[in-house]
Structure 1
Amino acid sequence: MSDEDITLTAGDAEAVVAPGNGGRIAGLRVGGVELLRQGERFGCFPMVPWCGRIRDGKFQDGAATHQMPLNSPPHAIHGTARDGAWRVARRAQDEAVITYDLVEPWPYAGRVTQVVALAPDSLTLTMSVETIDSSFPAQIGWHPWFNRNLDGVDAEIDFAPAWQEERGDDHLPTGNRTAPRPGPWDDCFGMPGGVDVTLTWPGRLELRVTSREEWVVVYDEQAEAVCVEPQTGPPNGLNTLPRLVTPLEPLEAATTWSWRRP
C-alpha cells in the first residue's frame, strides 16, 4: 500500500501519519490548533529498536558486540526506524496500522508494527517488535515535539516522578538515582506506577501523556518545543536494562495522549 501521508479524523481532532517519513505523527490538530512542532524532523517519531543514546554506539548481546552508526557523536541515538519508510497495513477514518521491517545496520531481522488510533479526545499509539528468527534486545519509545507555545501561552509541565536518573557529562545515566530536580531537563525519570505527565497551556488546553511503562525522558531545553518521551527503558538501556524480543514474546508498549479544553 502507499506510503503517502494519512489523515485521521475524530470529532474536531485530526492526526497526520507519515509512513514515508519514519512512521511519525506529522501533525495533531485539536479544534484547528496544531499541537506538534512542524518540520521533517519533528512531529512525533517512534524510537525503535532503541531509545535515546547508546554509549559509543555499542551494545552487547551475549558475547557479541554490535556497533551502530554514530548519528549523534560520540553516541548512536533514537533507533533506526525513524529514518526508514514504513508500509501501510490498514487504514480507516480514525485508525492506521503501519509496519517497518528492521534492516541493516540493525543486526537482527524483525518487524515493527505501530497502531495509531484517534478519538475525539485522545490519541493512542501502540507499538510491537517481533523477531523473524533469533531473540534480541530492544526498546520502544516515542519522541513527540509538543509546541511550547499555543496561541501566545507557554506550556507548563506537571509530573511526580519517583526518581531522576543522574545524567553524566556524556548525557547518559550514570547509574545513580537522585531526587527529581528542577528543569530545564534533558533527563530520564522513573515512574513505577506508569508514566503520567501533564502539559497545560493555561486557558487553552490540558494534555496528559500516559503509559504503563515506567520510564520517561523530558526534554525542554529548546525554546520551540517540549518533549515527553515514554519508553520501555532508560537511555543506553540496551546495555543496562535490556528487554528481550523472543519468538514467543514480542516487545509491546503503548502511550495515550488525552486532552481537554477549559
Structure 2
Amino acid sequence: MQTRLTAGDAELTISPEHGCRIESLRIGGTEVLRQGERFGSFPMVPWCGRTENGRFRDGATTHQLPVNAPPHAIHGTVRDLAWNTARVSGTEAVFTCELGDPWPYKGTVTQVFELAEDSLTLRFGVETYDASFPAQAGWHPWFLRNLGNGGRDVELDFAPGWQEERGGNHLPTGRRIDPLPGPWDDCFGMPGGVDVTLTWPEELELKVGSRAEWVVIYDEPAEAVCVEPQSGPPNGLNTHPRYVTPIDPLEVESVWSWRRL
C-alpha cells in the first residue's frame, strides 16, 4: 500500500513495501521524478554506490556482499526490503526496517519524510544495539531531464571542492582532481555541504541540499539526472569507514526545496 502526503500543491507518494522509495513527487500537478519500478528515489543504506568486488574489511574480518552490479555490490540492501510504517500524518511519515542478511550486522534504519508547500525534508537514522559496524546512507533520486510540458531540459549548477578521480573499475582512485565537464557518473566533494540546483528554465528551480559532504552526479541517461547526497563516497566502506555504534548512530538529512519560475 502506498503512502501519500500533501502540502499545498505538492504531493509525495511513498511505497514502503517497495524499498520505502519515493514513487512520485508532483509539484503543481507536474511530476519531477522518472517513473518506473527502478526509478523515483530510493534509499541507499548501509552503503552508497559501489563497494569494490562486493567486499569490505572490518578490522581483521573480510565480508562478502552479493555482487548485484558485477563485479561490485551497489546501493545497499534496504531498497530491496519491505519497511514498516511507524507513523503517518498529513505531511509527515516515518518508516523503519531491520538490517540483516545479507548485511552481516544487525541494526535499525529509520527514514523520515516531511513535506511542506515548497520543500521536502528527508532524514535517515542508522542505529545498532549490538556490534558496531561501518555504514553509509544517502538518496538516489531520478529527476526528469524534461518535465514534459514543452519546456527545455534541466540545467545543473553546483560548485564542488573537488571531483573524485574515477578509475577504470568505476570506483574512486583516491585522487582528488579539479572538476571535469560532464556527462558524469562521478562523486564530488562539497566540504560546506551538498548544494546542487536543478533548473528547468521558465518552469521550476529545485535545490538539493545536505550537511553531508559528498554527492554523486549521474547525468548520462537520456531521460533523467541523478543528484545523490550521501554520507561518504563510493567504496566508502573500505576507504572512508564511518562506524555506527550503540552510542553514536549515523544520521543524515537532505532538503529538497523548490520555487516556480
Q: C-alpha distance in 1, partners of 2:162/2:8?
A: 38
Give the C-alpha shift of residue 103 in structure 1.
Answer: 1.6
Which whole-Å deviations, capped at 9, do the CAs of 1:1-31 have from their partners, x for residues lacking one?
A: xxx1100000000000110000111100000
Q: Secondary structure at the match of 2:17?
A: helix
1:35-54 aligned at under 5 Å gives the runs 35-54=32-51
Which position in structure 2 is the counterpart of 1:214? 213
Q: C-alpha distance in 2, partners of 1:63/1:5?
A: 43
Q: How many residues align?
A: 259
1:185-196 aligned at under 5 Å gives the runs 185-196=184-195
Q: C-alpha distance in 2, partners of 1:14/1:117?
A: 11
Which position in structure 2 is the counterpart of 1:183? 182
Which position in structure 2 is the counterpart of 1:112? 109
* Unpaired stretches in structure 2, ≥5 consecutive residues: none
1:103 to 100, 104, 108: 100
Which position in structure 2 is the counterpart of 1:157? 156
Which whole-Å deviations, capped at 9, do the CAs of 1:155-209 have from their partners, x for residues lacking one?
A: 0000000100000011100010100010000000000000000000000000000
Which position in structure 2 is the counterpart of 1:22? 19
Q: Secondary structure at the match of 1:235?
A: coil
Q: C-alpha distance in 1, partners of 2:72/2:198?
A: 30
Which position in structure 2 is the counterpart of 1:90? 87
Which whole-Å deviations, capped at 9, do the CAs of 1:187-239 have from their partners, x for residues lacking one?
A: 00000000000000000000000000100000000000000000000000000
Which whole-Å deviations, capped at 9, do the CAs of 1:71-122 have from their partners, x for residues lacking one?
A: 0000000000001100100000001000010120000000000000100000
Which position in structure 1 is the counterpart of 2:230? 231
Q: Secondary structure at the match of 1:183?
A: coil
Q: C-alpha distance in 1, partners of 2:79/2:163?
A: 27
Sequence identity (%): 69
Which position in structure 2 is the counterpart of 1:128? 125
Q: C-alpha distance in 2, partners of 1:132/1:68?
A: 22
TM-score normalised by L of structure 1: 0.98
Q: C-alpha distance in 2, partners of 1:21/1:189?
A: 29
Equivalent residue letter for 2:66:
P
TM-score normalised by L of structure 2: 0.99
Q: Secondary structure at the match of 1:104?
A: coil
Q: C-alpha distance in 2, partners of 1:132/1:45?
A: 25
More off after superposition, 147-156 vs 219-228: 147-156
1:5 to 2, 6, 10: 2
Give the C-alpha shift of residue 132 in structure 1.
Answer: 2.8
Which position in structure 1 is the counterpart of 2:246? 247
Equivalent residue letter for 1:20:
E
Q: Secondary structure at the match of 1:249?
A: coil
